[in-house]
Structure 1
Amino acid sequence: MPTALLDLVLPPRCAGCDAPGAPLCPSCTAGLHGEPARRMPDPSPPGLPECWSATPYTTAARRAIVAYKERGRTALARPLAGALALAVAAAAGERPVVLVPVPGARSALRRRGHDPVGALAELAAVCLHAAGWPTRVDRSLVHRRRVADQAGLSSPERAENLARAFGVARGGKGAVPGSWGGSGVVVLVDDIVTTGATLAEAARALREAGWEVPLAATIAATRRRGRILDNHGE
């Protein structure tokens, strides 16, 4: 039985700590939302925007993201999107924002049956609107070719795997609406950041199409041996 259906017919358990009562308990939600900060991979790939995340990629954050992304627990979308919105707000300050989700590979979207990052970007925009931020989502960023699964690849291998993988759909302009006074900022969004290769390649594609891409925001940033690395599987 699909996990999303099980969530409807069985008492929910927290994806972060397995406590009964909710898809994500108050303690795990607080941990997920509690530490928005600038977190850059070290070393950072050339062209990587300034990266902000809501939390380090600790146990509860990892379990919640994996359950949502890979196991179909779509009820986790709202708390995860809330965390993403906090990271965007910390990065952008009071400026209006254009959220550009990093697209999933077609094979991954078929396997999962949903677009996890795209859905999070839409919900994060709702959260930001509710808080008074002029926000829109632009899905102009697209895959131009197939890429291998990023899991298990080294940092150089990830960069090679993703080289020239993204492009901008015809008609995508990256312009903030004039009614915002030209003070908006483009923010790339993804679920987690590891080496930064995915976000750097996405930023490269947008810049070649004439966009300015100063910022990126994710739910979590991976830490290993004192360095922030990326666990992104695409």
Structure 2
Amino acid sequence: MRGLRTVREWWADLTDLVLPAECGGCGSAREVLCPRCRTALSGDPPCRVRPDPEPPGLPAVHAAAPYADEVRAALLAHKERGVLALAAPLGAALAGAVRAGLREAWTATGGAGAPDGGGIRRVRGPVLLVPVPSARGAVRTRGHDPARRIALVAAGELRRTGVPARVSAVLRQRYAVADQSGLDARRRLANLAGALAVAPGGGGLLRGAVVVLVDDLMTTGASLAEAARAVRAARTPAVESEAGPGTYGTARSAVYPAAAGEGREERKTGPRMAGPYGGGGVISEAICAAVVAASPDSFEINRN
């Protein structure tokens, strides 16, 4: 009997790996995410969010849900406790936020109305999901990269609905930064200024593509603003007096507000999306962002 008990215990442990012992959101049921928590995560349509204060250079950001209660618990369980089965529902929620961002970009640049529930089904040119990278130490401690894992699931969901999406993890940290927890919005922006760069050879992948910066969470928007700066620098030649002929602006002194003048050529010749929207609208900058969750206050943009 003792040997049989050991086998049963082993089988229970194996089952816990495949089917978590409790819901990642509320802990009430033996499933990855119970129906109530799935509704909290994906029950409402993703919408535009904006932190206050908004960091300069932040692209349009869409989020699936407010970072509170069950959604917060599920994200922390995936990120910090390694409940990897949660990547499926979190990735599906992220895919919805990406669709919302692409839909808004199209509508704002000449699309002929919003699509039905099917979302964006055909996009001319690639859609690259670019995860905001975690610090190497954090990845080692956690044993995985949460944003990249969720992005891979989201890309698969998007391809199933006709969006030619793939993950391109081209962003790298140029130097170590301080722990962001406890820093206010201004200090987070200063802490991350110039910290990210596109890996050598990555700029060619980004040019001509619709880039969607993705992360699991947005609080102050500093990480997404820095990621956007790095992508713009890789896609746009730097001013020669600052960076020298033929080089790209990746220096720490890069100024965020300069992004407002970028993308003029992209407005003329940038990626066009075809499909149920009709027309031939051009996405002005071809950069947007999507996250699973954002701070509840950032949803106030939709109430003004």
Structure 2: distance between partners of 1:134 and 1:77:
20
The alpha-carbon deviation at position 75 of structure 1 amounts to 1.0
The two structures, once aligned, show a CA RMSD in angstroms of 2.3
Matched residue SS, 1:29: helix
Structure 2 counterpart of 1:29, one-letter code: R
The SS at the match of 2:295 is strand
Question: Within the alignment, does 1:145 sit opposite 2:175 as a pair?
Answer: yes
Per-residue deviation, 1:227: 5.9
Aligned counterpart for 1:214 among listed residues 272, 287, 292: 287
The answer on whether the counterparts of 2:180 and 2:188 sit within 8 Å (CA) in structure 1 is yes
Q: Which of 219-228 and 149-158 deviates more?
A: 219-228
Structure 1 residues 136 and 12, CA gap change in structure 2 (3 angstroms): same
Aligned residue in 1 for 2:198: 168
Greater share of residues in helix: 2
Does the 8 A contact of 1:105 with 1:143 survive in 2? yes
What amino acid maps onto 2:156 in structure 1?
V
Return the match for 1:46 from 42, 47, 56.
56
User: In the alignment, which residue of structure 2 is the partner of 1:105?
Assistant: 135
| Structure 1 residue 132 displacement after superposition | 1.5
Distance apart, 1:27 and its partner CA: 1.5
Report the equivalent of 1:232.
none
* Greater C-alpha radius of gyration: 2
Aligned to 1:19: 28
The structural deviation recorded for 1:150 is 0.6
CA distance in 1, matches of 2:197, 2:156: 26
For the residues of structure 2 that align with 1:134 and 1:224, how far apart are their CA atoms?
33
Quickly say closer, same or farther: Cα 1:51–1:8, change in 2 above 3 A: same
Which AA in structure 1 matches 2:216? D
Letter in 1 for 2:40: G
SS of equivalent to 1:54:
strand
Query: Which residue in 2 is equivalent to 1:157?
Result: 187
Question: Displacement of 1:34 after TM fit?
Answer: 2.2
Aligned residue for 1:65?
75
Shift of 1:112: 0.3
Q: Is the CA contact (8 Å cut-off) linking 1:11 and 1:20 kept in structure 2? A: no
TM superposition shift of 1:92: 0.8
Aligned to 1:192: 217
Where in structure 2 are there 5+ consecutive unaligned residues? 1-12, 104-119, 237-284
Deviations 1:196-217 (A, max 9, x none): 0000011101101116553100
CA distance in 1, matches of 2:153, 2:82: 17
Inter-partner Cα distance in structure 1 for 2:291 and 2:228? 14
Letter in 2 for 1:201: E
Find the partner of 1:78 among 63, 88, 99. 88
Choose between structure 1 and 2: higher strand proportion.
1
Matching residue's letter, 2:49: R
Structure 1: gaps spanning 5 or more residues: 229-234
Aligned to 1:231: none
Determine if contact 2:53/2:185 at 8 Å carries over to the other structure: no
What CA distance in whole angstroms lies between the structure 1 residues aligned with 2:96 and 2:82?
23
Call closer, same or farther: CA 1:6–1:62 in 2, change over 3 Å. Answer: farther
Aligned counterparts, 1:172-183, within 5 A: 172-173=202-203, 175=205
Change (3 A) 1:42 1:19: same
Q: CA deviation at 1:14?
A: 0.7
SS in 1 for 2:235: coil
Mapped to 2, the partners of 1:11 and 1:138 lie a distance apart of 30
CA distance in structure 2 between the partners assigned to 1:210 and 1:190 by the alignment = 21
Equivalent AA in structure 2 for residue 23 of structure 1:
V
The 2-side partners of 1:226 and 1:90 are apart by: 14
Q: CA deviation at 1:106?
A: 0.5
